[in-house]
Structure 1
C-alpha cells in the first residue's frame, strides 16, 4: 500500500513501564529479554537513544500504584509471574534520559487520586524545566483498589466521582501552572537586586469541594507551563473528560470498530467543549512483531508465544476488569450473562471476530502478548500496510507500541518498520525543533485557546468572571 494522497503522518510512541513484562506476562523468561534490567539507568538510556534514532515522538511510561490482587483474591499470581509488580517510580527515570537525548518526548503516567495537586504541580514544573519542555502527563484516576487502601483511603471512589475530582484537580493545576506567575515576573536584575517582581506573582485563591490552595505556585514558569496532556479513559465519562482536557488520547482497542467508535466519540466530545476535534491526537495500543520476511516474523511470534504465562495474563485481565477470572475454568465460554465487567470485556472481544464465542483460555492467549491491543506480525511492508489501513479506517493518528521482548521489539521497529514508513512518506525524517507540544502540533510551546487551561492564564480576569 503506497501513501494515499493527503494521508497524515503516522505518530509512534514506545509503551513501557518501570517493571518486568509490562504487557506480555511471562516473556521475561525469554533468553533475549532484558526487562529485568528496568532497575538500571543503562536500560532506560539505551532505550531512549534507540527511540530517538527512530524519530519516535515519545516514550510513554505506564504506571500503577497498587497490585493486581483480584485473581483468586490475592496478589500471588501477579508476584509469581511479575504481572506489573515489582514496579518502580517512573518519574525518576526521565531526567537522565532527557539529558542524554535531544528531542524524544516523555509521557509520565501519574494518578491524581493519590497526591495533592499542590506538590504535584511543582514536581511536573521541575520535570518540564529539566527536560527543556519535553514532558507530557498521562492523566489517570487509577483503577486498583489496593492502591487506595495502601494510602489510607477506604477504597476507590465511584467511577464518575473520580472524574469530578479530576476536573477540580486540573483546575488547580491550571491555575498554578498558567496563572500564578506572569511571564515577566522573573527578571534576575542584578543591579536592582530584584530576582522576581512580587506584584507579578499571584496567589490562586482556590477554595473548592476537594481542594483548598490559597497561595502561589512554587516554580517559575517552565517551557510549556502545562505539560502536554494525555488521557486514557475509555468510559463515557472518561471520553467527556478527554474531550475537555486532553491533547493526546490513548486507547487499547483490539479491533478497528472499537477504535473508530472511540476516536469519533472523543472528537465529538472535544467539539462539544468548543475545541477543534483535530486538536486531539489519538494513539492506539499496538504490538508489532517484525522480521525481514513474513515467515521470519511468524517464526519469531511462535517463539514468543511459548513463553506466555496463562496465569499472569489472567492476573492482568482480572485487575483491568475488576472481576476474578479464577472462578471460571479455562475452557468456559464467557457470555453476556455475567457481570458488567465481563460484558464489557466480551463485547470488546466480539468485535475482533464477530459471532465468535471466547473462552477464558482464548482471552488469556490474546492478552498474553500485547495486552488488549492487537498484534501485527510480518515483514516491514506487511506491518506498514496494516498500520496505514488502521489510520485510514479508524481516524487514529498513531500508535503506542508495546514490546513482547525488550529491547528487541523496539529495535526491530526502529531498524525495520521506521525506514519503510519513511519510504512511503507517512513518517517524519527529522524532528521539529521546540518543546513536545510544538513538535506534535507546531503551534507553540504552550496551551492556546480554546483549550480550557489557557483560560486560567489571567487569574484576575478569571476571578472576575467566576464572581459574575
Structure 2
C-alpha cells in the first residue's frame, strides 16, 4: 500500500521570503503581510484543502552585506520587515482545528525557561498542534543584536543547541508528572506539589532551577523539526528531530541523504522511521506544458536576482554582489549555512561550482514546471526516493497554494499519494496526525526525563 505524502506550506511573515521580488506582482498579497486577515484566510484554505501544516520561517537579524552594505535588504524587503511567527500562530490557532502550526526559533533569541513557557502555552491554545523548527542561526547581525561581538562558530552553535533542548526536555517532560494536575474543588487542591519538580539544571550555558510554570500541554514537547546538512547538523537532527526539512537538488540526492540520516538515527538508539523528511519544492502549473513554460518565463522575469544572490551569499558567508555569474565558488571554510554548499556540490555536474550555479540552485533547482499530471508524475519520483512530505514554497500568496490545492492534490489523491479529505481528522494533536501518538516515543532522548525528578 502506498503511503500518502504530507504537505506543509512554507511561508514567512515578511514581503520577500524565498522566491524574491514577487511581492511586486499585482496578485501578491504578501505585500500586505502584516494584515492578519491574509494569514487567517490562507490557513483556512490550507486546512480545508488537505495541507497538514503551515510552517513559518524566521530570522532575527539582517542578512550579510551585499555590494558592501545592507541597504539592498531594506530596499527589496529581503526578509525585513518581518514579524514574530509565534504571535501570528496564536491567532491562526483559534481559527483552525486540524492543521499543524510550525514556527522557527533559535537558542540565541530567548532563554530556555521562558521559551518553554511560551511554547507550552501555544500548544494549549492550539490543542496540541504546535511544532518547533530548531535552528542555530547563521547571521552575524543577529548575534550582535543579542550582545555578541560576532557569529558563534558553526559546531559550537550545535553544542549550545544540545544543552538548550536538554533544558527544554527537562521542563516539558520531567517537571510535571501526569497526575500532578488535580483541580479538586472539594479539597481545594489545584495541583499535587509532590508531583511537580524543580529541574536544577546546571550546564555550560544555562542554570535553570524550575519548575516549569505551565502544566503539561497536549503534546508536552512540540513536534520537533530541523534542517541542516553539515556533519554537526545531521548528527543533531538524527538525535532530536521528528521531521527534517531538506532541499535536495534531485530525488537521487534526497534518497542518499535520507538513508544516511536514518542510519544515524538508528546509531543513536532510535528507529529509522522515527524521522520524516520534507522536501522543499515550488511549482508552476499550467493546463498544458506550453502554458506552464510561459508562466515560468513570466515568473523568471519578475524574480529579483539581486535578492536571490544576496540571500544565498549571506548563507555561505560571501558577498556575491561584485562577482561575475561565472566566477567560481571554491571550497571554503564557513561558519554560515554549510548545507547550502553541500547542496551546491550535489547539483553541479562539473568540477567547479560558480555563482551562476548557486543562482540556479536557489531560484530553479527545486521548481517543478508542468501540467497537474506531469507534476504528479514528478512527485511520485520524489515519493519513491523516500521523502515523507513536500514543503511547498510559494511565489504568490495565496495563488500558489490555491492552484496546488485545486489542480495537483486531486490527482495525487487518485494515486494514493495524498490523504483523502474525509480521512483528515479534527481534534488530533499534530504529532498524532504524523505518528499516531500524542507524546514522544520512548526512543527519543527527551523521554529520559519522565519521572527523573520524582525523587528530588
Alignment partner of 1:383 out of 357, 362, 375: 375
Alpha-carbon distance between aligned partners in 2 of 1:432 and 1:343, rounded to the nearest angstrom: 38
Alpha-carbon distance between aligned partners in 2 of 1:335 and 1:211, rounded to the nearest angstrom: 39
Shifted more, 9-18 versus 352-361: the winner is 352-361
Once the 2 structures are TM-superposed, how far is the Cα of residue 101 of structure 1 from its aligned partner? 1.2
1:453 is aligned to 2:446: yes
1:283 partner SS? strand
Q: Which structure 2 residues correspond to residues 292-311 of structure 1 after superposition, within 5 A? A: 292-311=287-306
1:119 is aligned to 2:119: no
1:403 is aligned to 2:394: yes
Change (3 A) 1:210 1:338: closer
1:167 aligns to what? 162
1:272 is aligned to 2:281: no
CA offsets per residue over residues 389-429 of structure 1, 9 Å max, x none?
01213x11111011012211111111111111001111101
1:199 partner SS? helix
1:410 partner SS? helix
1:70 aligns to what? 65
Alpha-carbon distance between aligned partners in 2 of 1:260 and 1:42, rounded to the nearest angstrom: 39
Alignment partner of 1:374 out of 356, 366, 377: 366
Once the 2 structures are TM-superposed, how far is the Cα of residue 257 of structure 1 from its aligned partner? 3.6
2:430 aligns to what? 436
Change (3 A) 1:273 1:358: closer
1:263 partner SS? helix
Shifted more, 300-309 versus 220-229: the winner is 300-309
Shifted more, 76-85 versus 383-392: the winner is 76-85
- Stretches of structure 1 lacking an aligned partner (at least 5 in a row): 1-5
Alignment partner of 1:427 out of 413, 418, 428: 418
Alignment partner of 2:84 out of 81, 85, 89: 89
Q: How many residues align?
A: 452
Alpha-carbon distance between aligned partners in 2 of 1:386 and 1:368, rounded to the nearest angstrom: 18
Q: Which structure 2 residues correspond to residues 52-451 of structure 1 after superposition, within 5 A? A: 52-330=47-325, 332-336=326-330, 348-352=343-347, 354-355=349-350, 359-361=354-356, 363-368=358-363, 374-393=366-385, 395-429=386-420, 430-433=423-426, 434-442=428-436, 444-451=437-444
Change (3 A) 1:435 1:303: same
Once the 2 structures are TM-superposed, how far is the Cα of residue 310 of structure 1 from its aligned partner? 1.5
Are the aligned partners of 2:244 and 2:277 in contact in 1 as well (CA < 8 Å)?
yes
1:73 partner SS? coil
2:232 partner SS? helix
- Stretches of structure 2 lacking an aligned partner (at least 5 in a row): none
Alpha-carbon distance between aligned partners in 1 of 2:396 and 2:75, rounded to the nearest angstrom: 19
Are the aligned partners of 1:297 and 1:378 in contact in 2 as well (CA < 8 Å)?
yes
Alpha-carbon distance between aligned partners in 1 of 2:191 and 2:8, rounded to the nearest angstrom: 38
Are the aligned partners of 1:309 and 1:368 in contact in 2 as well (CA < 8 Å)?
no
CA offsets per residue over residues 24-81 of structure 1, 9 Å max, x none?
1111111211111210111101110111112111001100111113323321121222
CA offsets per residue over residues 176-218 of structure 1, 9 Å max, x none?
0011111111111111111111111110111111111112000
1:3 aligns to what? none
Change (3 A) 1:344 1:399: closer
Alpha-carbon distance between aligned partners in 2 of 1:86 and 1:314, rounded to the nearest angstrom: 19
1:218 partner SS? coil
Alpha-carbon distance between aligned partners in 2 of 1:342 and 1:187, rounded to the nearest angstrom: 47
Are the aligned partners of 1:256 and 1:390 in contact in 2 as well (CA < 8 Å)?
yes
Are the aligned partners of 1:134 and 1:436 in contact in 2 as well (CA < 8 Å)?
yes
